[in-house]
Amino acid sequence: MAQILRRRVIGSVAFILILGLPALGASEASQNENPASRLKNIELCNGADRSSPDSQINGCTALIDTGIKSALVSAVAHNNRGDAYSAKGDYDLAIRDYDLAIKLNPTFAKPYNNRGVAYQMKGEYDRAIQDFDEAIKLSPDYAKAFANRAETNQKRRDYQPAARDYDDAVRLDPSLEAVWNGRCWTRAILGQLEAALADCNKALLVKPDDAATFDSRGLTYLKMGQFDSAIKDYSAALLINPKIASALYGRGLARLKKGDTAGGNTDIAAAEKIEASIASDFSRYGAH
């Protein structure tokens, strides 16, 4: 579903990059560096300045270049710089830093998870799954790794494993916003419609203006045969983001089911201009 989510809502990558920024300690950088400068770079490397990933990159780079005594803390600095590169979409540079973080501390679960995200974004799903597997092996209660593995399995169209991973993510950390929509979408595809509806309702309580969740609930209502509710949710998604192909196509199907041929065909044509494979996608979802 991560692929579906990104296709539906450009910018929901915020649900797909669940990275985490482990903190550096002030006493752990080189003592040869000016103390005030050292503290500033630690703050930047920890992501204190959210205005630009470049600030975090610069802070981490300064710490790495001046030397860090602890291999563990050096691994954190590389991990955090990798996160910043990922935020910029520089996934190859991010992977290089995650590789170094893992080399410095092979039992550090976060860079495995984060490298998995980078591979996921590059479309290397099998490689991403391997990293999420390792992150979970090292940290069995790592809810974010379960959520990311679920999303990657959705991209691979492996919906049953995705559903199991979402169950674990929800069990371990129900406060993760995107897992509710992710599990809603997965359950809708699997035909578990009442459970899907409950998940989408929960997601909208947490984030009432989420276009992706309206789209997911629209699919759920569409498969339930509640076409008016589907049209309402798809329209809500499109009000937030008019270029969501799945919302256009789903609304078109719902309108056709209600006998609105002109409106339905218009929506479907618009969806197919955005996403050529959208008809086959909906066939795979069991929505015709």
Q: What's the whole-number mean pLDDT along residues 212-226?
A: 98
pLDDT at 25: 54
Altogether, the residues listed in the chain come to a count of 288
pLDDT at 1: 35
Q: Has residue 259 got a pLDDT over 90?
A: yes
Q: Has residue 140 got a pLDDT over 90?
A: yes
155-171 residue pLDDT tens: 999 999 999 999 999 99
Q: Has residue 42 got a pLDDT over 70?
A: yes
CA distances from 111 to 43, 49, 132 (A): 20, 21, 10
Q: What's the whole-number mean pLDDT along residues 205-215?
A: 96
pTM of the model as a whole: 0.85
pLDDT at 2: 30
Q: Which two tokens stand for residue 217?
A: 């609930």
Instruction: Tell me the DSSP string of 215-240.
Output: HHHHHHHHHHT-HHHHHHHHHHHHHH
Name the pLDDT band for 47 (thresholds 50, 70, 90).
confident
CA distances from 47 to 9, 20, 54, 93 (A): 25, 10, 10, 18
pLDDT at 14: 23
- Amino acid identity for residue 111 in this structure: P
Secondary structure (3-state) at 269: helix
User: Per-domain residue ranges for the chain?
Assistant: 1-15+176-288
pLDDT at 20: 44
pLDDT at 22: 53
Instruction: Tell me the DSSP string of 150-169.
Output: HHHHHHTT-HHHHHHHHHHH
Query: Which residues, 6+ apart, have CB-to-CB distance to 45 below 8 Å?
Result: 24, 56, 59, 60, 62, 63, 77, 80, 81
State the fold for domain 1-15+176-288: 1.25.40
Element (H, E) at 29: none
Q: What's the whole-number mean pLDDT along residues 181-186?
A: 97
pLDDT at 178: 86
Q: What's the whole-number mean pLDDT along residues 134-152?
A: 97
Average pLDDT, the chain: 88
Name the pLDDT band for 204 (thresholds 50, 70, 90).
very high
Q: Has residue 58 got a pLDDT over 80?
A: yes
Q: Has residue 3 got a pLDDT over 80?
A: no
- Count of helices and strands (H, E) across the chain: 17, 0
